[in-house]
Homo-oligomer: A and B are copies of this chain.
């Protein structure tokens, strides 16, 4: 949950019996080091560090110019300088420099989004004994990841909030609901499969177990937890009726990601052909976001959320995690007969 949490959420989840994660996609190397240092100092619990591993896009000044034209009316409306739109990358992929930082901490798990890094980088991570996980949004992606030697596969259903992990296709019609994707991936691979997408309640945890999951990955249900760094505006949106309507949008980064539908998504359409390649769309929107948020508006804010915002509780992440662990642990829900089904 890059942008909505730091090591404190990972720590609280670990205390509750879950595997806490530190999202590294939007951290500088210094910030990553600081986060991992703080987490390691506070707890001996295992943790996961998550990285994006997208190819850096080639500069495309024409496309950036078209995008600036699309955004120009908004810059004018908010009184921002349209001549100097920022063009920075916004998010950096996993690199040898990231690995240099990571090496000292040897996290129990290193997970990737958008496929995997290059084989040499992957080998470095595995050489420390870290388990490698990555997200699959189709059976094909799951098989590809298995071939590359990952230790577990996260089956990311269409309900999931934030970025789609898709990397072998850009066609959104290939994306499957969790109920359809999860058992097909479980059937196709010989690795443990972790269910993601729409799982934010004890019932959904139990459902994922029925479908063959070896574990669950939960995001949205933690967005309103005490330990998340989710902004007040984002929290308010998650608790509002607007959160019933999310959509996949490429406006905020260049890749499709699920968030609550807001003004810019309605006006430009959530998927816009003119948005620059990931992650180059980030910079142009972030100035608009800052200016609007200073006026208490989420018109330009990426309000990441799964299709289950109603599961986001105001509570300690440790307590939220304990409820999920309880739902997962057979002794506490239905005896070993429940555990043995559907095996």
Task: Write the residues of chain A forming the contact surface with B, with a CB cutoff of 8 angstroms.
Answer: 138-140, 157-159, 173-174, 176-181, 183-184, 187, 197-199, 201-204, 206-208, 210-212, 244-248, 261, 270, 306-308, 310, 327, 333-335, 337-338, 340-342
Contact check: which of B140, B198, B210 meets A180 at CB < 8 Å?
A: B198
Q: How far is the CB of A174 from chain B (nearest CB, A)?
A: 6
Q: How far is the CB of A303 from chain B (nearest CB, A)?
A: 14
Contact across chains for B157 and A179 when beta carbons are under 8 A apart: yes
Contact across chains for A176 and B159 when beta carbons are under 8 A apart: yes
Q: How far is the CB of A114 from chain B (nearest CB, A)?
A: 20
Cα A206 to Cα B159 with chains together (Å) = 20
Indicate the member of A202, A203, A270 with the most B CB atoms within 10 Å.
Answer: A203
Indicate the member of A198, A208, A261 with the most B CB atoms within 10 Å.
Answer: A198
Cα A48 to Cα B295 with chains together (Å) = 55
Contact across chains for B177 and A197 when beta carbons are under 8 A apart: yes
Contact across chains for A306 and B180 when beta carbons are under 8 A apart: yes
B residues in contact with A261, CB < 8 Å = 173
Given contacts A207-B207, A338-B338, contact A177 B179 (CB under 8 A): yes
Indicate the member of A138, A178, A179 with the most B CB atoms within 10 Å.
Answer: A179
Q: How far is the CB of A24 from chain B (nearest CB, A)?
A: 28
Contact across chains for B334 and A245 when beta carbons are under 8 A apart: no
B residues in contact with A244, CB < 8 Å = 138-140, 184
B residues in contact with A197, CB < 8 Å = 177, 179
Cα A245 to Cα B184 with chains together (Å) = 13
Q: How far is the CB of A228 from chain B (nearest CB, A)?
A: 20
B residues in contact with A187, CB < 8 Å = 310
B residues in contact with A334, CB < 8 Å = 334-335, 337-338, 340-341
Cα A340 to Cα B335 with chains together (Å) = 11
Contact across chains for B139 and A159 when beta carbons are under 8 A apart: no
Enumerate the 4 nearest inter-chain pairs by beta-carbon distance, A residue then B residue, closest first. Answer: A177-B177, A180-B307, A173-B247, A207-B207
CB-based nearest B residue for A139: B244
B residues in contact with A341, CB < 8 Å = 206, 333-334, 338
Cα A54 to Cα B197 with chains together (Å) = 32
B residues in contact with A183, CB < 8 Å = 201, 203-204, 308
Contact across chains for B245 and A342 when beta carbons are under 8 A apart: no
Contact across chains for B210 and A203 when beta carbons are under 8 A apart: yes
Indicate the member of A140, A327, A340, A341 with the most B CB atoms within 10 Å.
Answer: A341
Contact across chains for B174 and A177 when beta carbons are under 8 A apart: no
B residues in contact with A337, CB < 8 Å = 334-335, 337-338
Indicate the member of A173, A261, A327 with the most B CB atoms within 10 Å.
Answer: A173
Cα A208 to Cα B179 with chains together (Å) = 9
B residues in contact with A333, CB < 8 Å = 341-342
Indicate the member of A210, A334, A340 with the most B CB atoms within 10 Å.
Answer: A210
